[in-house]
């Protein structure tokens, strides 16, 4: 088992007669999936009906064990994947209405035209290649893109941004656009729309203009022509994703214009074709203002100024995809502008493709967070899915973790995060437990769960008790384990160097940009540790609505898992369990390491139930994760101890590394011990 089939492993299909009056490339896919994957009663008849039904959204469907009804061919396709999934996971099928939470469910690929992937840990790009003839489209390209499209469609993902947000202007040149067209043709019948990221200064970089000022008539004309050219090639092109005036990228502010000026100019040009602009709010500069406050300060004054085909793309937290962050205060605060969450599927800050971290609990925590912006119950989910605010577009995006590795994502368990992104984008009310349950069954079950139980030499019950349940539990505990051994209690961004992998709480005093150092974020000193974001500090809490604001401001009521995000806390502060902050830190780091050791045992015991290729891959990665977790614990405790001057509790095992050694080795390269 090389993992290439992910959660789409068709086993012993039964025969099914498909009844439908419709013919189209999408319906051909539907029939083929049923042929390969039907697990219902042998010889059943399945009736597919496409008719106008107001209770269904464009992609929605109704299913029973023998019927699927939808408004569109794509609705039927999603219905088929749902039906097959239920058959394969043994879930009883009731008739129900199944509408997606978000209209646009989009992967953001940070792929560069030379085939490398920014923050990618699973090999090179699926779309772009390096070298001579790199733009020639081959049969194997098409085959791969088709597999990719199918995987996405199977979990409802319906959009792909094909290149990095740090965009090359080359992407808008003829050769690249031809390749986008070729990709779009393969993705189209699966309902996956193509989008690209653009560089804001393209008019001057490749258009020969002297400016890229969004209010300049020639610039506007250039974009209009470019967009016309794109739609000629790709009539259903989705639109642009834009990182502008952000981390050194050019943008409207270079010309004294606002984000709204920039976004609207592009939106106007895309409007006649129904294209959209996903404009990122990931903006901050190295000034004296707390980085966590800057996006809100920039965008809230612009609320209401954006066109209705602009949607602001906001990372889940106010800083940057850290192991744990509070939700970005922009959610719920932008009331007259569509806003979409940006999640990170690739584990830039969560152990790359080496650490096992199932991200559903983190994303659920975020989506379920109450912003209180329209009273109690104004969750992030509701403030983005169109139920709380009247927005023309609803969308959610995830930074993809895919690459050319045979198993697509590097770590077998990282496949679950791609799966989860799709499932939550479709239905943000699914629980982490249910998604894990589905994924483990689809990915590892040796049984055709709906039917026979004879195949391997153990029973379905054995498999469920000794594999499914413990592995699921390991997944559910895994994100919190990473938080514990990396950054408990709201610590954030204390990595060594730009690889964002190993620990480096000491990192960066020599750097010019203070906001790119660890010291900026943890602020450890002889008195305590943590970033004071209350009124005595940066006052970032002002950006949250009451009663949350008061809750966060008060040391006693601030959730302990975000304590050091909002407060500078004395080392000897007594926490809820009666122990000091310092002792709690030590126990938490230790608990994180111990959890990984438990995962190793769970996985070793799972050996009889999993093929050897995936077994050894995961086993070896867990060993690596265990070593890394120990390094994180030692590095952080020994370093912070220099400020706390308190002993590591004596019932805990002592560090195994010397701080000075760790400083040298983690500065040089990420501690992956490969
Ligand atoms: C940071 C990444 C950087 C991205 C940036 C972004 O380190 O590579 O370009 O986010 O989202 O997390 O634009």
Please identify which of the residues 236, 247, 604, 611 carries the catalytic annotation. Answer: 247
**Contact present, 172 and 202 (Cβ < 8 Å):** yes
Residue 321 Cβ < 6 Å to ligand 1: yes
Residue 428 Cβ < 6 Å to ligand 1: no
- Probe target for ligand 1 pocket from 320, 498, 513, with the most ligand atoms within 8 Å of CB: 320
Gap between the Cα atoms of 99 and 85, Å rounded: 16
Please tell me the predicted confidence (pLDDT) of residue 671. 55
Residue 295 alpha carbon to ligand 1 centre in Å: 15
* Residue 320 designated active-site: yes
- Probe target for ligand 1 pocket from 247, 285, 349, 516, with the most ligand atoms within 8 Å of CB: 247
Residue 119 Cβ < 6 Å to ligand 1: yes
Q: What is the DSSP string of 106-158?
A: EEE--B-TTS-BTT--SSS-SS---STTTT---HHHHHHHHHHHHHHHHTT--
The 3-state DSSP class for residue 165 equals coil
241 - beta bridge partners?
197, 278
Burial of 185 (C-beta count, 10 Å sphere; 0-12/13-18/19+): middle
Gap between the Cα atoms of 473 and 425, Å rounded: 23
Residue 348 Cβ < 6 Å to ligand 1: yes
- What ipTM does this complex have? 0.99
Q: What is the DSSP string of 390-425?
A: --S--EEEEE----SSTTSSSSGGGHHHHHHHHHHH
Burial of 513 (C-beta count, 10 Å sphere; 0-12/13-18/19+): exposed
Q: Which among 87, 111, 153, 145 has a CA at the least distance from the CA of 423?
A: 153
Q: Is 488-531+568-668 in the same CATH topology as 16-98? A: no
> Selecting from 3.30.460.80, 3.40.50.300, 3.40.50.150, 3.20.20.80, what CATH number does the domain 104-430 have?
3.20.20.80
The domain segmentation of the chain, as residue ranges, is: 16-98, 104-430, 488-531+568-668
The 3-state DSSP class for residue 62 equals strand
Residue 480 alpha carbon to ligand 1 centre in Å: 23
Task: Report which protein residue has its CA nearest ligand 1's atom 9.
Answer: 166
* Residue 583 designated active-site: no
Residue 166 Cβ < 6 Å to ligand 1: yes
Please tell me the predicted confidence (pLDDT) of residue 668. 64
Burial of 516 (C-beta count, 10 Å sphere; 0-12/13-18/19+): middle
Residue 321 alpha carbon to ligand 1 centre in Å: 9
Residue 342 Cβ < 6 Å to ligand 1: no
Residue 451 Cβ < 6 Å to ligand 1: no
Looking up tokens 């749902």, which residue turns up?
A: 82
Residue 348 alpha carbon to ligand 1 centre in Å: 9
Residue 425 alpha carbon to ligand 1 centre in Å: 22
Residue 118 Cβ < 6 Å to ligand 1: yes
Q: What are the distances in angstroms from CA 480 to CA 474, 477, 501, 521, 631?
A: 10, 6, 17, 20, 17
Residue 633 alpha carbon to ligand 1 centre in Å: 26
Q: Sheet containing 16-19: which strands, arranged edge to edge?
A: 16-19, 44-50, 67-70, 61-64, 96-98
Gap between the Cα atoms of 615 and 604, Å rounded: 8
Sign of CA dihedral 213, 214, 217, 219: positive
Could you identify the atom of ligand 1 that is nearest to the CA of residue 315? 11
Residue 315 Cβ < 6 Å to ligand 1: no
* CATH superfamily assigned to domain 488-531+568-668: Alpha-glucuronidase, C-terminal domain (3.90.1330.10)
Please identify which of the residues 111, 290, 348, 617 carries the catalytic annotation. Answer: 348
* Residue 59 designated active-site: no
**Contact present, 169 and 115 (Cβ < 8 Å):** no
Looking up tokens 């974009």, which residue turns up?
A: 223
193 - beta bridge partners?
159
**Contact present, 43 and 17 (Cβ < 8 Å):** yes
Please identify which of the residues 261, 320, 480, 532 carries the catalytic annotation. Answer: 320
The 3-state DSSP class for residue 340 equals strand
**Contact present, 348 and 500 (Cβ < 8 Å):** yes
Residue 551 Cβ < 6 Å to ligand 1: no
- Probe target for ligand 1 pocket from 166, 284, 670, with the most ligand atoms within 8 Å of CB: 166
Residue 36 alpha carbon to ligand 1 centre in Å: 40
**Which CATH architecture does the domain made up of 16-98 adopt?**
2-Layer Sandwich (3.30)
Residue 343 alpha carbon to ligand 1 centre in Å: 12
**Contact present, 472 and 485 (Cβ < 8 Å):** no
Please tell me the predicted confidence (pLDDT) of residue 674. 41
Q: Which among 73, 72, 7, 63 has a CA at the least distance from the CA of 40?
A: 63
The 3-state DSSP class for residue 524 equals coil
**Contact present, 53 and 69 (Cβ < 8 Å):** yes
**Contact present, 437 and 468 (Cβ < 8 Å):** yes
Residue 243 Cβ < 6 Å to ligand 1: yes
Q: Which among 286, 290, 280 has a CA at the least distance from the CA of 259?
A: 280
Residues of the chain with pLDDT under 70: 93, 95, 448-456, 667-674
15-42: b or e for each residue (b if 16 or more CB lie within 10 Å)?
Answer: ebebebeeeeebbebbbebbeebbbbee
């Amino acid at each position: 088992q090389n993992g290439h089939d992910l959660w789409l492993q068709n086993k012993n299909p039964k025969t099914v007669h498909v009844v439908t009056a419709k013919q189209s490339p999408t319906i051909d896919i539907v029939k083929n999936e049923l042929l390969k994957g039907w697990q219902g009663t042998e010889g059943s008849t399945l009736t597919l009906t496409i008719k106008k039904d107001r209770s269904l959204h464009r992609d929605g469907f109704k299913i029973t064990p023998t019927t699927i009804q939808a408004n569109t061919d794509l609705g039927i396709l999603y219905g088929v994947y749902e039906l097959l999934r239920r058959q394969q996971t043994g879930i009883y099928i009731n008739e129900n209405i199944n509408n997606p939470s978000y209209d646009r469910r989009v992967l953001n690929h940070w792929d560069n035209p030379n085939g490398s992937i920014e923050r990618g840990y699973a090999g090179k790009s699926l779309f772009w290649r390096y070298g001579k003839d790199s733009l020639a489209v081959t049969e194997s390209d098409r085959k791969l893109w088709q597999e990719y499209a199918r995987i996405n469609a199977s979990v409802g993902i319906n959009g792909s941004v094909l290149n990095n947000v740090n965009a090359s202007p080359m992407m808008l040149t003829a050769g690249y656009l031809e390749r986008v067209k070729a990709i779009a043709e393969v993705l189209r019948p699966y309902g996956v729309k193509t989008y690209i990221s653009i560089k804001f200064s393209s008019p001057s970089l490749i258009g020969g203009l002297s400016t890229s000022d969004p209010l300049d008539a020639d610039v506007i004309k250039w974009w209009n022509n470019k967009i016309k050219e794109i739609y000629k090639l790709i009539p259903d092109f989705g639109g642009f994703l834009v990182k502008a005036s952000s981390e050194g990228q050019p943008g409207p502010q270079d010309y004294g214009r606002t984000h709204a000026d920039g976004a609207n100019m592009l939106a106007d040009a895309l409007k006649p074709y129904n294209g959209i602009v996903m404009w990122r709010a990931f903006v901050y500069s190295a000034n004296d203002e707390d980085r966590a406050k800057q996006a809100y300060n920039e965008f809230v004054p612009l609320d209401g100024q954006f066109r209705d085909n602009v949607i602001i793309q906001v990372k889940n937290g106010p800083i940057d995809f850290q192991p744990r962050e509070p939700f970005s205060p922009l959610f719920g605060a932008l009331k007259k502008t569509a806003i979409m969450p940006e999640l990170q599927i690739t584990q830039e800050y969560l152990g790359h493709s080496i650490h096992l971290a199932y991200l559903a609990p983190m994303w659920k925590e975020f989506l379920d967070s109450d912003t209180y912006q329209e009273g109690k119950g104004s969750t992030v989910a509701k403030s983005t899915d169109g139920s709380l605010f009247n927005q023309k577009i609803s969308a959610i995006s995830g930074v993809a973790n895919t690459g050319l590795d045979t198993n697509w994502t590097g770590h077998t368990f990282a496949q679950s995060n791609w799966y989860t992104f799709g499932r939550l984008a479709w239905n943000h009310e699914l629980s982490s437990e249910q998604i894990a349950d589905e994924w483990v069954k689809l990915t590892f079950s040796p049984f055709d769960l709906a039917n026979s139980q004879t195949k391997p030499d153990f029973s379905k019950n054995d498999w469920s008790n000794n594999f499914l349940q413990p592995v699921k539990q390991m997944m559910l505990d895994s994100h919190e384990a990473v938080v514990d051994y990396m950054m408990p209690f709201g610590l954030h961004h204390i990595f060594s160097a730009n690889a964002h992998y190993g620990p480096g709480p000491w990192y960066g005093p020599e750097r010019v940009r203070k906001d790119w150092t660890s010291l900026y974020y943890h602020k450890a000193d002889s008195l305590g540790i943590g970033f004071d974001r209350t009124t005595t500090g940066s006052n970032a809490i002002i950006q949250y609505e009451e009663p949350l604001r008061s809750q966060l401001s008060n040391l006693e009521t601030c959730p302990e898992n975000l304590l050091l995000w909002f407060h500078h806390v004395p080392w000897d502060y007594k926490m809820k369990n009666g122990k000091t902050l310092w002792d709690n830190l030590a126990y938490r780091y230790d608990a994180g390491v111990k959890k990984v050791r438990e995962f190793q045992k769970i996985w070793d015991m799972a050996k009889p139930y999993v093929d050897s290729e995936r077994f050894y891959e995961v086993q070896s990665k867990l060993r690596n994760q265990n070593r890394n977790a120990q390094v994180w614990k030692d590095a952080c405790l020994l370093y912070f101890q220099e400020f706390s001057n308190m002993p590591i509790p004596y019932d805990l095992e002592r560090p195994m590394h010397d701080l000075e050694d760790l400083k040298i080795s983690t500065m040089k390269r990420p501690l992956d011990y490969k």
